């Protein structure tokens, strides 16, 4: 059976108290912003509910829509699932199976947009008290005192592209 999408009132949905996954603070704000800026995302990825409109997948999207005072949302009603299948779906829908290809992200995507869209990029830190030991990778980047990250950002991006780095740490 191919599931169909139905538009229902947000007030008819029931958050799932058994869902062990949540988003807080800054990441939740990014989700709200994401839906506000790209509401078609809800059509492309509807909230999944059971026959009683209890959410199986999309609790945080539901909360973000509630925050935005959205009145109606697209849902897929998964009323053919057994109780065990519904519990399995809740977990599997929230498990991240894949990994990011950092090379492709560094070379093909704009890192500012990726961060705006909620992707946590590897941390780049600047430390003026770097020990004088040689870097085991043989690569060392130095910045003048007081130079801001934004000024160096283009140079870092070009460096990553040039050396096609898979992982990196800049001190």
- pLDDT tens figures, 109-163: 888 888 877 787 776 554 555 445 544 455 555 555 444 544 455 666 666 666 6
Domain at 5-94: CATH code: 3.90.1530.10
Give residue limits of the domains in the chain. 5-94, 102-163
Measured at the alpha carbon of residue 161, what is the angle toward residues 158 and 166, in degrees to the nearest 5?
A: 130
* pTM passes above 0.95: no
Cα angle: 151, vertex 115, 27; to 5 degrees: 130
pLDDT digits (tens, 9 = 90+) for 62-92: 999 999 999 999 999 999 999 999 989 988 8
């Amino acid at each position: 059976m191919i599931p169909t999408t139905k538009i229902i009132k947000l007030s008819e949905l029931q958050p799932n108290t058994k869902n062990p996954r949540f988003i807080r603070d800054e990441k939740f704000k990014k989700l709200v912003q994401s839906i506000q800026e790209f509401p078609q995302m809800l059509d492309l990825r509807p909230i999944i509910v059971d026959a009683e409109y209890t959410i199986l997948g999309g609790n945080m999207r539901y909360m973000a829509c509630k925050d935005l005072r959205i009145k109606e949302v697209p849902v897929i009603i998964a009323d053919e699932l057994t109780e065990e299948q519904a519990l399995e779906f809740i977990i599997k829908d929230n498990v991240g199976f894949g990994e990011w290809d950092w090379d492709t992200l560094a070379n093909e995507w704009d890192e500012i947009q990726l961060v705006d869209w909620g992707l946590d990029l590897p941390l780049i830190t600047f430390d003026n008290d770097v020990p004088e030991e040689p870097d085991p990778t043989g690569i060392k980047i130095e910045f003048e005192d007081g130079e801001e990250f934004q000024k160096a950002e283009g140079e870092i991006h070009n460096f990553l592209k040039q050396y096609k780095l898979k992982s990196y740490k800049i001190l």
